[in-house]
Amino acid sequence: MPLRSDDIFVVTFPKSGTTWTQELVWLIGNDFNYEKAAAKLLTERFPFLEGSLFFNGEKAKKALLDSCNGDVVKMKILEEMSKPGYEVVEKLPSPRYIKSHLPLSLLPPSLLDTTKVVYVARDPRDVAVSYFHHNRLFTLGGFTGDFEQFWESFHKDMLDWTPYFEHLKEAWDKRNHPNMLFIFYEDLLKDLPEAVRRVAKFLNKPVNDEQLERLCNHLNFHNFKNNKSVNNEPMREFGFLAENESFIRKGKAGGWRDYFDEKMAAQAQRWIDDNLRGTDLRLPQKN
């Protein structure tokens, strides 16, 4: 995949604050053009590099075609969604904004020497909870189990994009590279204005107090949840989203405590300790 020197990637393990960060990065990079952001879906402004993989399996293709029910417009949309990400981004004007959940080792080898990368990490227990709801939201996946079943698959590295800690540690090892900005989702929640300043400095984009205040208000969870350009609602028109789940959910840290019983919490802590042993990586939130 050919890279350009002004490309900007947002790379995360799924459900680590990706969408929130994409909107933040795009608006800073595009001089706070809220009108354009509202008029164009985030998925178009900031395409998902490997997203087409979800639409090219045989079962997925059948479900997609059935959902179109002969609607020519819908079929055209699905045709676009099925195109390989590298073909989609190749046609984008510079600077390109690209999202990926792939670990650095599965992205172009020259990525950090060529482009800027914002990597967002999050407590894996909260990631697991959010990922659980995400899999219940997208009906194409066919997941119908409970959280305990999902957690078993998550911490045993049996889900898409796992193993979680290898993903995280690859990025952590590159955190001091001048083209890498490594941030924790919990830090975004704790002090969004400071996080905005860090991103703006990383992108070499000045930001004044008025711009900072407006962007933080735009990213306020209530406003963000109701922002139609970021919440994946077009997928609902195809019948791919469960009615009782939402794409933008709660936007908080520590919610995992409502899902883990004592045994699961102890198991999770051992898993975290085992994977962080021998590293200087520490999660920002204590259990």
Digit-coded pLDDT (tens) for 69-107:
777 766 776 777 778 999 999 999 999 999 999 999 999
Of the segments 74-83, 131-140, 172-181, 243-252, which one has the largest average pLDDT value? Answer: 172-181
Residue whose token pair is 């990525």: 111
Buried b / exposed e along 122-148 (16+ C-beta atoms within 10 A): bbbbbbbbbbbbbbbbbbbeebeeebe
- Residue 256 pLDDT level (bands cut at 50, 70, 90): very high
Average pLDDT over residues 254-270: 95
Tokens of 199: 């991103």
> 8-47+92-276, what's its fold?
Rossmann fold (3.40.50)
Instruction: Assess whether pLDDT exceeds 70 at residue 285.
Output: no
Instruction: Assess whether pLDDT exceeds 70 at residue 238.
Output: no
**Contact criterion met (CB below 8 Å) for 66 and 46:** no
Higher pLDDT, 166 or 139: 166
Instruction: Assess whether pLDDT exceeds 90 at residue 180.
Output: yes
Cα separation, 14 vs 149, in Å, equals 18
